Amino acid sequence: MSNFWIEHAKEYSERGFEINNVGTHPAIIEVIKKHNLGNKILDYGCGDGTLLYNLGKKNYEYSIYDISEKMLELAEEKLNGFNLDVYKNSNDIPHKIFDYVILSMVLICVDNADEINFILGKLKDSKKDDGLCVIAIPHPCFRNQAYSSYFTEFSIGREFNYFNNGQPHKLFMRDKNISFIDHNWTLSFIINSCLKHGLNLLEVIELKDNNTNAFYNQMASPSVILVCK
């Protein structure tokens, strides 16, 4: 279903997902620790707050935003005791105050280019001039591959056209026996959209698949992280 995380937010939160727990979240946290710019972080599309909870810096200043009010409630519960600001309207997010703005597995949920451009513009506006924007997405070049934690319908027979931007398709989570609707955006489209909004690419991090799983894919990357300034 396309909006499982909105209509069934609590169930989504309770399940947890391997691709985040052993993949994107540790990699994003490593970027933050590596650059050590400051302690103001915005998680745009925060879900249930697991990423910031795992970062575990109670002396940091966390800000969260999500289109799902239920997810925001769950994030507030999880981040109880942290220095936290919650934004229910993206227009209320302050300008140029964040050392890091994080966008983890959000763009794949967006079905149109205008919304992607709005989000990237918002992130550029909210980070400091020397701050970083950290974007995590499933690797768009290999959507027809199967991985330890997930596979798409492109890997089980549906024709894959990498250049078909915005194409909706089903993604199946192995460990939870559920499926979502994702949208395909080429790597060049995402990078060029970042550049259009003044988010200059510093680093591309291609993540390895989880090699402790029987479905381990040693030939392709399940996720990619773009670090922009």
Q: Is the pLDDT of residue 1 over 50?
A: no
Question: What is the rounded end-to-end Cα distance, in angstroms, of the chain?
Answer: 34
Please give the average per-residue pLDDT across 131-136, as a whole number.
Answer: 98
The pLDDT of residue 116 is above 70 = yes
What CA–CA distance (Å, rounded) separates 114 from 122?
A: 12
Q: Is 132 helix (H, G, I), strand (E, B) or coil?
A: strand
Query: Does the pLDDT value for residue 9 go beyond 90?
Result: no
pLDDT-derived band at 173 (thresholds 50, 70, 90) equals confident
**Is the predicted pLDDT of residue 156 greater than 70, yes or no?**
yes
Q: Does domain 4-139+186-228 have CATH number 3.40.350.10?
A: no
Percent of all residues in the chain with a pLDDT value above 70, rounded to a whole number: 90
Pull the structure tokens for residue 191: 């990078």
> Which among 87, 106, 131, 116 has a CA at the least distance from the CA of 223?
106
What is the mean predicted confidence (pLDDT) over 102-110? 94
Q: If you average pLDDT over residues 137-156, what whole number do you get?
A: 95
Q: Looking at residues 55-66, what average pLDDT do you find?
A: 94
Segments making up each domain of the chain, as ranges: 4-139+186-228
69 vs 62 pLDDT, higher one: 62
Q: Is the pLDDT of residue 81 over 90?
A: yes
Cα distance between residue 99 and residue 133, in whole Å: 9
Question: What local confidence, expressed as pLDDT, does residue 23 receive?
Answer: 80
Question: Quick one: what percent of the chain has pLDDT higher than 90?
Answer: 78
Average pLDDT of the chain to the nearest whole number? 91
Q: Is the pLDDT at 139 greater than 80, yes or no? A: yes
* Residue with the larger pLDDT of the pair 199 and 173: 199
- In this prediction, residue 179 carries a pLDDT of 83
DSSP state at residue 53? H
> Binning pLDDT at 50, 70 and 90, where does residue 2 land?
very low
- Count the helix, strand and coil residues of the chain and give each as a percent rounded to the nearest 5: 35, 30, 35
Least confident of 80-84, 96-100, 101-105, 180-184: 180-184
Query: 102 is written with which tokens?
Result: 């994080």
Contact by Cβ (8 Å): 59, 80: no
pLDDT band at 209 (very low <50, low <70, confident <90, very high): very high
Residue 4: its pLDDT value, please? 55
